[in-house]
């Protein structure tokens, strides 16, 4: 079994909103599908760290989730800043059950063991401005809940975030502190696109960071192991 990750699919199969207005995103849905089918097998796992669908409510995401359900493998999804459709976990799971979506799990205040690795994560944050205190503290708390849940499982902890906690001159020190507290060595994140790649950070205070936004990895699931 292999473990992959890819973020920021920005699917829009039910909405009149597409990423094709941006350079490099031409025919991106088909490119994702083709690369996924080429690499991912039914017994593999793919983690998707946010910005999955442009749908504003659950009903507007159905075609996007059907697209994902069709693809092989188990999928573990966490929230991004554009996932405005995200409701309570209970309601999303009910939506999945009603629509025969069986291969997708939510990473939200919990953790998943995949063989000898434990997958943790939350949306995250990378700003420190005082007006964002509530958001930052909430995301720090959710990361703590996920990592504490991981303590009940066995294996190397791998963290997935939507926002990078370090980007250019921005550092979310509270999230970095939590990562160091739990001795996290590797973090996979999305959110950054296009030329923003140039400001991404690959290592900070002993923690390695990997940007896996779809357009930054050629719309191809990235093999972790």
Contact 47, 5 (CB under 8 A): yes
Query: Which of these ranges, 70-74, 114-118, 168-172, 212-216, has the smallest mean pLDDT?
Result: 168-172
Instruction: Give percent of the chain with pLDDT exceeding 70.
Output: 97
Beta strands in the chain (DSSP E): 3-5, 45-49, 74-78, 104-106, 112-114, 117-122, 156-161, 166-167, 170-171, 186-189, 203-204, 207-211, 222-223
What does the DSSP 8-state code read for residue 149? H
Task: Please determine, for residue 128, whether its predicted confidence score (pLDDT) is greater than 60.
Answer: no
Query: If phi over 0 gives left and psi between -120 and 50 gives alpha, with beta otherwise, what is residue 73?
Result: left
Task: Please determine, for residue 83, whether its predicted confidence score (pLDDT) is greater than 60.
Answer: yes
Please tell me the predicted confidence (pLDDT) of residue 127.
62
Contact 83, 53 (CB under 8 A): yes
Domain ranges of the chain: 3-223
Over residues 181-194, mean pLDDT: 96
Please tell me the predicted confidence (pLDDT) of residue 19.
78
Please tell me the predicted confidence (pLDDT) of residue 134.
85
Task: Please determine, for residue 105, whether its predicted confidence score (pLDDT) is greater than 70.
Answer: yes
- Residue 198, φ and ψ in degrees, nearest 5: -65, -20
Over residues 3-27, mean pLDDT: 87
Token code pair at residue 23: 């350079």
Over residues 52-81, mean pLDDT: 97
Can you tell me the distance from the alpha carbon of 188 to that of 209, in angstroms, rounded to the nearest whole number? Answer: 6
Please tell me the predicted confidence (pLDDT) of residue 75.
98
Task: Please determine, for residue 86, whether its predicted confidence score (pLDDT) is greater than 80.
Answer: yes
Superfamily of domain 3-223, CATH level 4: Metallo-dependent phosphatases (3.60.21.10)
Query: Which of these ranges, 74-78, 147-151, 192-196, has the smallest mean pLDDT?
Result: 192-196
Separate counts of helices (H) and strands (E) for the chain: 5, 13
Task: Please determine, for residue 113, whether its predicted confidence score (pLDDT) is greater than 80.
Answer: yes
Please tell me the predicted confidence (pLDDT) of residue 169.
86
């Amino acid at each position: 079994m292999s473990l992959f990750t890819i973020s920021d699919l920005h699917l829009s199969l039910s909405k009149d909103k597409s990423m094709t207005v941006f350079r490099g995103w031409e025919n991106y849905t088909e490119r994702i599908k083709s690369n996924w089918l080429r690499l991912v097998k039914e017994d593999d796992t793919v983690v998707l760290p946010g910005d999955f669908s442009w749908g504003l409510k659950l009903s507007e995401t159905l075609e996007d989730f059907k697209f994902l359900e069709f693809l092989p493998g188990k999928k573990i999804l966490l929230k991004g800043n554009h996932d405005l459709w995200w409701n309570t976990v209970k309601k999303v799971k009910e939506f999945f059950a009603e629509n025969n979506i069986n291969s997708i799990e939510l990473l939200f205040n919990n953790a998943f063991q995949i063989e000898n690795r434990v997958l943790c994560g939350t949306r995250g944050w990378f700003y420190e401005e005082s007006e964002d205190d509530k958001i930052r503290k909430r995301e720090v708390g959710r990361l703590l809940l996920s990592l504490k849940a991981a303590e009940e499982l066995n294996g190397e902890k791998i963290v997935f975030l939507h926002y990078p906690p370090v980007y250019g001159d921005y550092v979310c020190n509270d999230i970095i502190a939590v990562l160091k507290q739990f001795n996290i060595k590797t973090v996979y994140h999305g959110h950054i696109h296009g030329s923003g790649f140039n400001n991404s950070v690959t290592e900070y205070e002993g923690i390695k960071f990997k940007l896996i936004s779809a357009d930054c990895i050629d719309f191809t699931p990235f093999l972790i192991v």
